[in-house]
Chain A
């Protein structure tokens, strides 16, 4: 069965692009999250939209489930396939089809790497605003599936705010066109519904994205604080003052030390309990004015030191530590459980205390590096996956952190998605009717439940949903 399918797939895409040996498939066992692994039956890597359509139609006729995958940088175990499913790898669909500087739109294939699009738009004075930390590797198709965020989403919005239209290959091999070049659609907002559906509604084969002008003035400020609470209060103070920075990122002491001990050392004050990185942009005049306001607010909230950079190289240096924080933390422990949760911004100071208390209770080391401006936490727990007791404590701590964030009025994920990692928390986030509606909506796109099966919606927790009679 498996061999026959592999042969048929090879006929469609060429034998070189079908992976079936265990050693080859090992590369596809996990995404960016080390706590989940699963080996697919096969992996197929189509080289064109036409090949992709043929692959999905073949899988549909053979009733074989599939999981679409981009660069595999996801952090929710969302792009993992079980032994009965085929992994459809989209990295070869990597053409930027069109950059239209007049309309400020780009049309891309799903395998285009995020940073490549901004590079292609730069000669026109434009860029693609969402900038996940993995932007040098992650694909735009994956960004659409996960509704990816990034530091600059505070001001510019997440992926869903930048997708105008999609061509979608439904799991049964039909093509549909959603949205339009403009903000008006041919029907209800199915683009908004599709973005963030985590590969369970189909595969975006062609993505029309909005491009934004590169701001003329950018100021980056780095502030050090003697306590994480003071840093959090500075965040609230800036938001309450009506300033919307382009980005507002926080790192705690554990994170600062990891960065400074690594090759990515950015010269952060190593004795600080927290550093806050604030970027303001716009016209040169407004950026300058906002930077002065932000600096005053930072000092008012007892920043022990504030550094400002305007020239690109200095700004890049201040950012380097933040951008490489995950890599730096990865060096100090065998494994890193990267978490993602959201709280209302006013709850930041309390929740950070709570996270620290939870980590202490389970005898774990936690380092925080996160999007403070929108309350999007990333408490990262260092651990050793060879130690089963420690793994169990990590799991228990994550459980407690998720429930604490929900209790504060927050969400279980701000940008990484539910995938398989957060499945167990969904019943705490949504009631049975809401989960039932989500499942029913998924069945509109994928009645046979073959696209990325088993993710996002815990089926057992859904109330049965009454479907309409045909009208």
Chain B
């Protein structure tokens, strides 16, 4: 079987674009959206199951499939338009390379997702992985203006566009952001950029956890909204205590004033990090969980942080935890049995908190699903939407797990 797959793929994409991945299954490395489409059409005809990957760092390349399809060959930055603050990039472009290219023109993509620096922009979008800056710049969905998607049966669709405001047609792009590839393979993205900020400051404070959450509440109540206000477990910042980190971004006077207000309102032993240390600090925060087997997200709002952190500690562990102390949202990284995740998901659901499994070995994904605990009526809609974008079920994505 796999021999036949290899043969037919080589005929289609050329020898250089077909290899075997470490599991020994054939891997297609198309270098264009049309190549992705042709691969998926072939898979559709042949009845192969296809798993998706970027560089294999955030979307684990381990699902049971006949063919691995990687977007790493889609690595072109198609256009960067400083005057419009818009870029068009292929899905396999690594995040670090993209940010460097944008910085050359005085811009950036205001996202700081966890993971290896070379993880692809496609994986960031497909898994909707945002970092601490989501407090000020919004979730991943706010940065994606449009895309090209290849459906499971090899059709190309182009929802959205390249302008910052657009309501033409249904917003199919939203489904792709955080869709984990279940609604097709992202091949090109149109991204909203920002000019590099004129000024920045990072404040950190270390103290017992409940002191930090209480101080963060004081900051928010005073109407102070730094672009990141992140609570970090000791393991994340490699310190003996929990850390509260604030990142102020903007004009020089605005940053200075915001800093002053944080120092005034939150009674904590604040330390301002000089620029180089601030850079190293956020790098550490972003990459601390890269080695863990799993990450999951909890949709908790700031007032529920303490309770959810306790629950997390009881059900999994208090190892690597990042929590949005102003706008909410929590990420955990580590290793856990599927049953533990399922229990945590159910307990969180009782508190109106959704749990999204962001990354995990296939056995866990298959058992628990990226989502699982759907709300009233949502499950059938998701199933039917998958049928629209992957009519013959080619794409192996564990959206809802074996039981929930």
Contact = CB atoms under 8 A, between A and B. Distances in A.
A428 to B, nearest CB: 10
A188 B81 contact: no
A250 to B, nearest CB: 15
B185 to A, nearest CB: 14
Interface string B243-260: 000000011111111100
B8 interface: no
Interface of A: 102-103, 125, 146-147, 149, 153, 157-158, 160-161, 170, 174-178, 180-193, 195-197, 213, 216, 236, 239-242, 244, 282-286, 288-290, 293, 342-346, 371, 374-376, 409-418, 422, 426, 429-431, 433-435, 437-438, 440-442, 444-445, 456-457, 465-471
A288 B253 contact: yes
B83 A160 contact: no
Contact of A192 (B81, B174, B197): B174
Nearest to A371: B165
B113 interface: no
A184 B168 contact: no
B134 interface: yes
Contact of A189 (B178, B252, B257): B178
Contact of A187 (B134, B196, B300, B382): B382
Given A187-B382, A192-B171, A344-B81, A289 B157 contact: no
Interface stretch (B25-33, B114-122, B264-272, B383-391): B383-391
Given A103-B303, A187-B378, A468-B388, A438 B86 contact: no
Interface stretch (B53-61, B148-156, B286-294, B314-322): B148-156
Nearest to A288: B253
Contacts of A146: 167
Interface residues of B, number: 94
B157 A286 contact: no
Given A192-B177, A344-B162, 20 more contacts: A103-B303, A147-B171, A153-B165, A160-B174, A170-B377, A184-B298, A186-B374, A187-B374, A196-B167, A240-B195, A282-B250, A289-B254, A344-B84, A346-B84, A411-B163, A411-B166, A411-B168, A434-B172, A437-B155, A438-B170
Interface string B310-328: 0000000000000000011
Contacts of A290: 251, 254
B182 interface: yes
A54 to B, nearest CB: 18
Contacts of B142: 157, 161
A192 B82 CA distance: 27
A196 B171 contact: yes
B393 interface: yes
Interface residues of chain B: helix, strand, loop or mixed (majority): loop
B275 to A, nearest CB: 18
B338 interface: no
A103 to B, nearest CB: 5
Interface of B: 81-86, 106, 128, 134, 138-139, 141-142, 151, 153, 155-159, 161-172, 174-175, 177-179, 182-183, 194-198, 223-225, 250-258, 261, 297-303, 327-329, 352-356, 371, 373-379, 381-393, 399
Contact of B168 (A288, A293, A422): A422
25 contacts: A158-B167, A176-B381, A180-B354, A185-B356, A186-B374, A186-B375, A189-B128, A192-B175, A192-B177, A216-B223, A242-B106, A285-B253, A286-B250, A344-B86, A346-B83, A374-B165, A411-B166, A411-B168, A426-B168, A433-B155, A437-B157, A438-B159, A444-B388, A456-B169, A469-B392
B164 A375 contact: yes
Nearest to A287: B254
Among A174, A241, A290, A444, which residue has the most Cβ atoms of chain B within 10 A? A444
Contacts of B138: 157, 161
A406 B375 CA distance: 39
A187 B81 CA distance: 34
A175 B167 contact: no
A57 B175 CA distance: 28
Nearest to A158: B165
A146 B153 CA distance: 31
A121 to B, nearest CB: 13
A185 B165 contact: no
Interface residues of chain A: helix, strand, loop or mixed (majority): loop
Contacts of A283: 224, 254, 257-258, 261
B161 A411 contact: yes
Contacts of A414: 163, 165-167
B256 to A, nearest CB: 7
Contacts of A342: 163-166
Nearest to B84: A344
Nearest to A437: B157
A422 B83 CA distance: 28
A94 B178 CA distance: 33
Among A177, A244, A285, which residue has the most Cβ atoms of chain B within 10 A? A285
A376 B167 contact: no
Given A158-B165, A283-B261, A190 B381 contact: yes
A429 B169 contact: yes
A183 B329 contact: yes
Nearest to B160: A411
B177 A189 contact: yes
B381 A445 contact: yes
Given A182-B301, A192-B177, A441-B385, A240 B155 contact: no
A442 B388 CA distance: 10
Contacts of A284: 257
Among A153, A184, A189, A469, which residue has the most Cβ atoms of chain B within 10 A? A184
Nearest to B261: A283
Nearest to B300: A182
Nearest to A440: B388
Contact of B381 (A184, A288, A444, A456): A444
Given A188-B183, A375-B164, A174 B169 contact: no
Contacts of A288: 253
B164 A374 contact: yes
A414 B163 CA distance: 9
A177 B352 CA distance: 12
Contacts of A286: 250-251, 253-255, 257-258
A373 B232 CA distance: 37
Given A177-B378, A285-B257, A184 B166 contact: no
A201 to B, nearest CB: 8
A342 B160 CA distance: 12
B166 A188 contact: no
Contacts of A465: 388
B299 A177 contact: no
A430 B169 contact: yes
Nearest to A182: B299
A189 B175 contact: yes
Contacts of A174: 377
Given A193-B171, A346-B84, A441-B172, A184 B388 contact: no
Given A216-B223, A289-B253, A469 B391 contact: yes
Given A176-B377, A186-B354, A188-B182, A409 B162 contact: yes
Contacts of B327: 183
Contacts of B175: 188-190, 192-193, 441
Given A102-B303, A375-B165, A468 B223 contact: no
